[in-house]
Every structure is written in structure tokens, then in C-alpha cells.
Amino acid sequence: MADVTLSVIIVNWNTREFVRACLLSLTENPLPGQTEIIVVDNASTDGSAAMVAEEFPSVTLIASDRNLGFAAGNNAGFQVAKGEYWLVLNPDTEIMPGALKAATEVLWTRPGIAAVGACQVGIDGEIQRSVRGFPTATNLIRSMLPGPLYSDEYWRRNFDYMRAQVAPQPMATFTLFRAETVRALNGYDEKFPIFFNDVDLCKRIWDTGSEIWYSPDVRILHHGGEGTRQVRKAMIWESSRSLIHYLKKHHGRELGTILLLPGLTLMVYALAFIRAKGFSVGFRP
């Protein structure tokens, strides 16, 4: 495909009806210009790959024989993507009218911005919180403390979702990237197979001197967690492990991390044990 403007990469695992609706929304709300859609199916057992092949023959289908996870699945899509911009899109989303045009216009008009996040609207019509700061051992501990010791640096509960602005790390439900930026950073770090790969990539983008933007004009419907909830216990543990790995990777030499990480790790894993009602090895590809 020549002169592709946009490559849409969707990693799917056992969400056939949602990925069908997602693909239909892309068909009904296309971006002016040349667009390609790539679906990476992670060895689904619900007929997802067959449905994509039969009902959407123009879609590039990568049917893996094993569950690669989110990071490796997207990286597989990146390897064949030809667009100037790469959109990472969850299968449990639906694109709203004008969203793709609004997102690409941000990158067209703002050369210092490398990625754009969307306004995520739930099926109840409410705007979902989808922007956070970057976690550190210190701000995670302070987010649990009362009064003047409290810090909202990580959770960003006061983020104004009605205003276009820089956003430290929008969730990977919808992220439009400059392809050259992601390519230069070698895509997602596969040591974060499911969670915190988006946080890690956003951190590395900011470290290059580029910015990430949030736009309320880029609106999507987000059903939410349709893949991970199928294996909730394993995902709770995987998220906890990935958080600790992120802190070690990006802040492991900082004094605050050295002092606080042992206790924070114990707390995170204890909460995982309680929430999951037991232990899990997490995700294994």
C-alpha cells in the first residue's frame, strides 16, 4: 500500500463482537486519505480471526498461534505498518465521527507533539478518567497519605477532560503516534507484556524532548476491560509486577526508590493477593 497516512493496529484476544463493532466504526468514520487497518489476533478461541478474515477482507490480519500479549502484539503490527501515523486502538472501542481527523490534525499542526490521547466515553455516557502522571515510589506513597502530605501527581484526579492540553501518559486504549518516534524507540518494551508498556513508552517519548497531547475533540466509545477481565486474577498480579518493574527500570537509582521500594513492593503484592483472592504467576506468553 503506497502513501499510507494512517495505520490502525488492533490487538485482539477473544473479543470477537467488540472487534467487529470497532472495525465497523472505523469503516463508517474513516480518515480522509489512505488508511490501513491491522488486526493482530492473539490465538483467540472465539472465532475472532475467522470473522475478521471473512467480514473485513481489506484488513491485514496477523493470526498468531499463541497469545503474544499487548506489547509484542502491537510490535508485530508495527513491523508491517506503513503509515506516517500509527494508531494503537483497543478492540473494545468504537470511533466516533471526526475522531481520526481531529487526532491527526494535532500531529499535523504541532511538530513538537509525538502522540495524542482521546476522550474516552463509557457506555453510560460518562467521560472516563484516562490520563495519569508517571508513577514514582514517592508519589505513590504520598497518594495514600492525608492532608498536606497527599500528592495527586500520579492519579491526576483533577485533570480537566474538557480542555486540550499536554498529558503525561494517556491510556493505550487510543493513542495516535508519529510512526518515526515509535520506530526510533523500538516500539513497546516486551518486558511489560500487558500492563505499563504504555506508561513506559510514554515516559521514553517525554525523555526524548517530545510531548504527548490530550484532545477532547478526539472521542471514542470505550466498553472497557473486555479482554483482561476474562483472566482477572492473573491480570491483577501482572499489573502489580509491571508496576514494580517500571519503578526499578526508570527510578531504580533514585534515593527515594531505594528507600521506599521494599515496603512499597510488599504493600503492592499484599494488595494483589487480597484483590485476586490468591496468588497467580500472571501472564506467560
Residue 193 located in a structural domain: yes
pLDDT beyond 90 at 11: yes
Rounded CA gap, 79 and 228, in Å?
Answer: 24
**Could you please report the per-residue DSSP string of 48-77?**
HHHHHHHH-TTSEEEEESS--HHHHHHHHH
Q: How far apart are CA 161 and CA 116, in angstroms?
A: 13
φ/ψ of residue 244, rounded to 5 = -65, -40
| Total structural domains within the chain | 2
Q: What residues contact residue 113 under an 8 Å CB cut-off, 6+ apart?
A: 106, 107, 210, 211, 212, 213
Position with higher pLDDT, 128 vs 1: 128
Residue 2 has pLDDT above 50, yes or no: no
Which segments of the chain are extended strands (E)?
A: 6-12, 35-42, 60-64, 85-89, 93-95, 113-121, 131-132, 165-166, 169-170, 174-178, 211-222
What CA–CA distances, in Å, run from 234 to 18, 135, 151, 246? 22, 22, 29, 18
What's the CA gap between 96 and 153, in Å, rounded? 30
Residues 148 and 206 occupy one common structural domain: yes
The answer as to whether 84 is a domain residue is: yes
Q: Are residues 163 and 236 in the same domain?
A: no
Please report the pLDDT score of residue 33 as a whole number. 84
pLDDT at 3 over 50: yes
Q: What is the CATH number of the domain that holds 112?
A: 3.90.550.10
CA pair distance 26, 8, nearest whole angstrom: 9
In terms of residue numbers, what domain contains 125? 6-227
Question: Average pLDDT, stretch 91-114?
Answer: 96
Is residue 120 domain-shared with residue 19, that is, in the same domain?
A: yes
Residue 132, pLDDT > 90, answer yes
pLDDT value of position 228: 67
Query: Looking at the domain assignment, is residue 106 inside a domain?
Result: yes
Query: Helix, strand, or coil here: 120?
Result: strand
Please identify, among 207, 227, 247, the residue that sits at the C-terminal boundary of a domain: 227
Residues 80 and 92 in one domain: yes
* Segment among 27-36, 82-91, 102-111, 179-188 with least mean pLDDT: 27-36
In a domain, 284, yes or no: no
**Could you give the C-alpha distances from 73 to 55, 62, 230, 243, 252, in angstroms and in order?**
22, 9, 18, 20, 27
Predicted confidence at residue 1, as pLDDT, reads 35
Per-residue pLDDT tens for 169-190? Answer: 999 999 999 999 999 999 999 9
Give per-residue pLDDT as tens, 139-163. 999 999 999 999 999 999 999 999 9
Same domain, 111 and 157: yes
Closest C-alpha among 42, 49, 50 to residue 66: 42
Positive/negative CA dihedral, 10, 13, 16, 17: negative
pLDDT for position 163 = 98
pLDDT tens digits along 206-217: 999 999 999 999
pLDDT, one tens digit per residue, over 59-96 is 999 999 999 999 999 999 999 999 999 999 999 999 99
Residue at 282 is within a domain: no
Q: Give, in order, the Cα–Cα distances in Å from 139 to each of 20, 92, 152, 250.
A: 40, 31, 8, 14
Are 195 and 256 in the same domain?
no
Kindly state whether residue 1 falls inside one of the protein's structural domains: no
Above 90 in pLDDT, residue 261? Answer: yes
